Structure formats: structure tokens, C-alpha cells
């Protein structure tokens, strides 16, 4: 299934409840929530208390992307705050598999994210345990960057590998996605698209999401 997950990082924080309503009406299925600690990435965003208060304002699926070191320290807090899918970074702790299993044991969907320098092969063994793999298409830390086209090769490799092994998994791409390049991402095998500035800065988010869905339909993954 093709899913659009607008990143709230590009929204107006003074009226987050309305911003979430706006993307829901515009046809988004998820809300992508970027948590940054100023250590794993050189930027600070927001934490569990903020998520817990916007939880009351939205019925979108909360797709929480943790860009924090040693995420195991805060997993319980984010689940309690209302995360539906909790994604940690492969590079953020000693034993990501242990954290993945812990999240699953809490009956929360689990994702694993890889930075641009992390090769596909590093996470092959973990794929069967994941609900979602997030391939970063920019260096994590900031919205509004340009998508790195090389990363789509990595997506293709992982989708091919998953299909060969019969592993059903969502592959999310994050960073620099627009209505103009979404087709390249879906053709490479991605099916969950994060889009911050492309959706929130648009005059008509509805139009952008519609275009993204059309692009996905006309650019399926072909082996």
C-alpha cells in the first residue's frame, strides 16, 4: 500500500493541531514526527510530551522517527505518548536488534532507519523482524534538503532482497521527496513517502498528495 507521511517538522508549531487536521483532510495517512536530540543529529526538535498533546488532536497514524542516541532509554515514553510506529536508527546504539525486539514486545509497530553511509547489507538480517525500514535520502537533521538519488539504488537493492526472501515490509524514504521525484522512489521499491516541506509549504497540500499518489500508481516497482 502506498502511504504519504508528511513531516510535522515543516509545520507551524504554533498551531500543530490544525496543521495535522489539514494534512489529514489533504489525504495523508500518517503524520511523520521527527524527534532530534542535538547529539545523534545536529538539531533539536521535540519530545514525547509534545507528541502526547498532539495525540489528542489527530487520528492519523503517528510515524515517530527517533534521531536520538541510545533510544532504548525513551522507547516506553514514546509508546505511551501515542506512537503507532516507532523507528530507531541502526547507528544510534550498540544493539539495535534488542531495541527492535523490545518495541515489538510492547505491541507497537517497529521501524529501523539507516543513514546514507550505512549499506543495505548491514540490515539484511534484521529485515524479517521489522514492520518498516526507513532509508534516509538526506543526512538526517534538517528538513528542506535535496534528495540524494544514489539512495534509491539502496532502496532497490533492499526491495529486491526482501522480495527474494519473501519478506513483506514497508520501505519508507525520508528527505527531499517531492511530487516530481516520488515516482523514482516508488519505482525503486519504496511505498511510504515522508514529505515535509513539499507538503507543508505547498499552497495546496491536497494537490501535492494527489500528485504523489498518481506518481506512485504510474511508477510501480518492477524487478
Q: Cite the active site residues.
A: 34, 174
When binding is defined by CB under 6 A, the residue of 28, 37, 174, 208 that contacts ligand DX5 is 174
Smallest gap from Cβ 164 to ligand DX5, in A, equals 29
Residues 37-76 as x/- pattern, contact with Zn ion by CB under 5 A: ----------------------------x-----------
Asked whether position 33 contacts ligand DX5 by CB under 6 A, the answer is no
CB closer to Zn ion, 131 vs 174: 174
Min CB(174)–Zn ion separation in Å: 4
Q: 124: burial class by Cβ within 10 Å (0-12, 13-18, 19+)?
A: middle
In the complex, the smallest distance separating the C-beta of residue 223 from Zn ion, rounded to whole angstroms, is: 28
Please say whether the beta carbons of 48 and 81 come within 8 A: yes
Q: Is 34 in the site for Zn ion (CB under 5 A)?
A: yes
Please state the closest distance from residue 165 (CB atom) to Zn ion, in A. 26
List 63, 131, 172, 174, residue binding Zn ion (CB under 5 A): 174
Residue 128 near residue 168, CB atoms below 8 Å: no
Applying CB under 6 A, what is the total number of residues that bind ligand DX5?
Answer: 22
Residues near Zn ion (CB under 5 A) are 34, 65, 174
Residues near ligand DX5 (CB under 6 A) are 7, 9-10, 32, 34, 65, 138, 140-145, 174-177, 194-198
Amino acid at each position: 500500500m502506498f502511504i504519504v507521511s508528511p513531516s510535522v517538522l515543516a509545520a507551524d508549531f504554533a498551531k500543530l493541531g490544525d496543521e495535522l487536521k489539514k494534512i489529514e483532510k489533504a489525504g495523508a495517512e500518517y503524520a511523520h514526527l521527527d524527534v532530534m536530540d542535538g547529539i545523534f543529529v545536529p538539531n533539536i526538535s521535540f519530545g514525547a510530551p509534545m507528541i502526547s498533546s498532539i495525540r489528542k488532536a489527530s487520528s492519523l497514524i503517528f510515524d515517530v522517527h527517533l534521531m536520538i542516541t541510545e533510544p532504548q532509554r525513551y522507547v516506553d515514553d514514546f509508546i505511551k505518548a501515542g506512537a503507532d510506529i516507532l523507528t530507531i536508527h541502526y547507528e544510534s546504539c550498540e544493539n539495535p536488534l534488542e531495541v527492535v525486539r523490545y518495541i515489538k514486545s510492547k505491541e507497537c509497530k517497529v521501524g529501523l532507519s539507516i543513514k546514507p553511509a550505512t549499506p543495505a547489507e548491514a540490515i539484511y538480517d534484521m529485515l524479517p523482524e521489522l514492520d518498516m525500514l526507513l532509508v534516509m535520502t538526506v543526512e538526517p537533521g534538517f528538513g528542506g534538503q535535496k534528495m540524494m538519488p544514489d539512495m534509491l539504488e539502496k532502496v532497490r537493492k533492499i526491495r529486491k532482497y526482501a522480495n527474494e526472501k519473501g519478506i513483506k515490509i514497508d520501505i519508507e524514504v525520508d528527505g527531499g521527496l517531492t511530487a516530481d521525484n516520488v515516482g523514482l522512489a516508488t519505482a525503486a521499491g519504496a511505498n511510504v513517502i515522508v514529505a515535509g516541506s513539499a507538503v507543508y509549504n505547498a499552497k495546496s497540500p491536497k494537490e501535492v498528495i494527489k500528485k504523489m499518489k498518481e506518481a506512485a500508481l504510474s511508477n510501480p516497482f518492477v524487478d
